[in-house]
Amino acid sequence: MDTQRTLLFVALSVIILLLWQAWEAEQRPVPTTAQSTEVPVAPSTPAGAAGTATAPASAALESSDRVEVTTDLLHAVIDTQGGDLRVLELRKYPLTLDPPQVPLRLLDDQGPNLFVAQSGLITTGDDPAAPRLLPYHKSRFRADAPRYTLADGQDSVQARLTWDGPGGVQVAKVYTFHRDTYVVDLRYEVRNAGRETREVYLYAQWLRRYVDQGVGLTTLPTYTGGVIYTTDKKYEKIKLPDLASKPLVRDAAGGWAAVIQHYFVGAWLPGVQERVQYFGDRRGADLYALGYKTLEPVKVAPGDKATFTTRLYAGPKEQHRLEKVAEGLKLTVDYGWLTFIAAPLFWVLEWLHKLLGNWGWSIIALTILIKLAFHPLSVASYRSMAQMRKLQPRLQAIKERYGADRQKLNEAMMEMYKTEKINPLGGCLPILIQIPVFIALYWVLLESVELRQAPWALWIKDLSTKDPYYVLPLLMGGSMLVQQLLNPQPLDDMQKKIMYVLPVVFTFMFLWFPAGLVLYWVVQNVLSIAQQWWINRQVVGTK
């Protein structure tokens, strides 16, 4: 196998890998039937004692009075029906650049992207046919006020809801929003004015609608679905459609339960050492719940009070924020199986951004640094290619001499390589070593929310979306073609045709790729052309 055939194999392998990852991440059939419990049951309660069949997913969530909370980063809407966090808009993240006034809505209780934060209290002895003894995500609360705003000089603001239950139990549900953070604290204040002791458990869950996005060349292969993190199994993806046939039940200490999507995440965060049970199941035709419930009850005697707390994070996957919130939460920035390479690359990219102040120039600088790091390997590769190119006339003469006799042709070629002390694979092996780095950088540029709506220069206003005028993809395709001309040409006519088709195929694929990714490939190709030209002209003496 000659050098060009190996290069062809590598190029096609990269294409197949990217397309396979897109298919694997997105192509998930959605089951059509399922049953589930509507709310977690207390661990000591017989299975199903507090459960009922769910309503169809097409039915809208029940709603009542709304409470609005505005901070420097968030605009939240809490519904008194269940006390759910129904809407959460990220004020620093516009939905689009034009117009920039509309904030991205991460949580929403309507439409195909339904995504809400629910929580409640459960106790032993609840009877599905009777009024609940403690409030859950379908209980009706009362709001102390319809609107709260984090004022200048304030560090936090609280939204308070109240509930009066049967048997003299009174509960306050209090959300606390803080300045400059996407973490929201939630606490329940329980006062037992009744005559019986209550064993109380807390649960918190995400309710998410799953919609199959399909797959295609323009589909970004990013994971949308559930994740749980525990001390024993660490980061574990929970694909939402799988919960229809195999509900999740997992006991653990600490950790978190999250639903992630491209650039953003919502995570429920129990106490670091709190014993909990993570659960996930189906709640309708296309609705899924993922969350946790506490395993150790708190006994609230008559006349006593108790407080139950949890936290949630709902916002962008900014790594410097995530690593301060909870162990392992920054893994929701999903770099895949090359995280050990991608994470350091992002650290360097972020460091360059602090120096240069522009993500586009930072990508260019990082590409140059990577090229410098691999310069010795690249020189060896391009020197081998240049030597092969120098032998092209003699190789062509051998081909004409032996014609269709492949065996004699290969023997003559190998004898020439041996005489000239040339390794025909010398140009490929250094490239193969660099492939994991290139793929890791691909994931860094694809997954980093910092590049979302980040401008570079001129017409490139958003490095996370396609080049609106397709200039970068065309430059990328042209630079690939120039590389082909500088490299030794295959002796086989079919291989030669395929090699010249590859720039067209890549150009077509990259038309819809994020501009930041295409910028990387353009700079990479230009640097490679410069290296190959210099080696061809100065080291080997060819032109």
Q: In the chain, what percentage of residues exceed pLDDT 90? A: 44
What burial class does residue 243 get, using C-beta atoms within 10 Å of its C-beta: 0-12 exposed, 13-18 middle, 19+ buried? buried
The 8-class DSSP code of residue 232 comes to T
Cα-Cα-Cα-Cα dihedral sign, residues 46, 187, 291, 228: negative
* Residue range 326-367, pLDDT digits in tens: 999 999 998 878 888 998 999 999 999 999 999 999 999 999
Query: Are residue 260 and residue 369 in the same domain, yes or no?
Result: no
112 by DSSP, 3-state: which? coil
At which of 284, 317, 334 does a domain end? 334
What confidence category does residue 39 fall into, taking pLDDT thresholds of 50, 70 and 90? low
In a shared domain, residues 323 and 349:
no
Same domain membership, residue 324 and residue 461:
no
- Beta-strand pair 66-70/147-149: parallel
- CA atoms of 213 and 510, how far apart (whole Å): 20
SS3 per residue for 118-147: EEEEEECCCCCCCCCCCCCCCCECEECCCE
Same domain, 418 and 506: yes
Model confidence pLDDT, tens digit, residues 366-419: 999 988 887 777 666 666 666 666 666 676 677 667 666 667 666 776 767 666
Residue 462 resides in a domain = yes
Q: Are residues 227 and 327 in the same domain?
A: yes
Could you tell me if 291 and 374 lie in one domain? no
As a whole-number percent, the residues of the chain with pLDDT over 70 amount to 73
Residue 27 lies in a domain: no
Residue 422 has pLDDT above 70, yes or no: no
Residue 205 pLDDT > 90: yes
Specify whether 121 is located in the same domain as 237. yes
Tell me the pTM.
0.80
Together in a domain, 416 and 300: no
* pLDDT at residue 3, as a whole number: 42
Partners of 306 in beta bridges:
190
Are 182 and 239 found together in one domain?
A: yes
Contact between residue 109 and residue 61 where contact means Cβ atoms under 8 Å apart: yes
Q: Is residue 308 located within the same domain as residue 377?
A: no
Does any domain span residue 50?
no
Choosing from 334, 357, 378, the residue where a domain stops is 334
- For residue 85, pLDDT beyond 50: yes
Q: Residue 231 belongs to a domain with what CATH number?
A: 2.70.98.90
Looking at the domain assignment, is residue 53 inside a domain?
no
Q: Do 381 and 366 touch, CB atoms closer than 8 A? A: no
Q: How confident is the model at residue 9 (pLDDT cuts 50, 70, 90)?
A: very low
Give me the number of domains the chain comprises.
2
Q: What is the pLDDT of residue 155?
A: 95
Neighbour-count burial for 327-366, b at 16+ CB within 10 Å, e otherwise: ebbbbbbbbbebbebbbebbeebbebbeeeebbbbbbbbb
Given a contact cutoff of 8 angstroms between Cβ atoms, the answer to whether 504 and 526 are in contact is no
Same domain, 246 and 175: yes
Is the pLDDT score of 246 beyond 80?
A: yes
Last residue of a domain, one of 286, 317, 334: 334
3-state secondary structure of 163: strand
Are residues 277 and 381 located together in one domain of the fold? no
pLDDT band at 45 (very low <50, low <70, confident <90, very high): very low
**The two structure tokens encoding residue 70:** 């505005």
* Half-sphere exposure of residue 486: CA atoms within 13 angstroms, side-chain side: 23
* Beta carbons within 8 Å of 404's beta carbon, 6+ residues apart: none
Residue 175 resides in a domain? yes
**44 domain-assigned:** no
Torsion region of 284: left, alpha or beta (phi above 0 gives left; psi -120 to 50 gives alpha) = left
Write out the residue range of the structural domain in which residue 121 sits: 62-211+223-334
Residue 271 lies in a domain: yes
15-19, 298-302, 446-450: the lowest-pLDDT one: 15-19
Domain assignment present for residue 216? The answer is: no
pLDDT of residue 29: 40
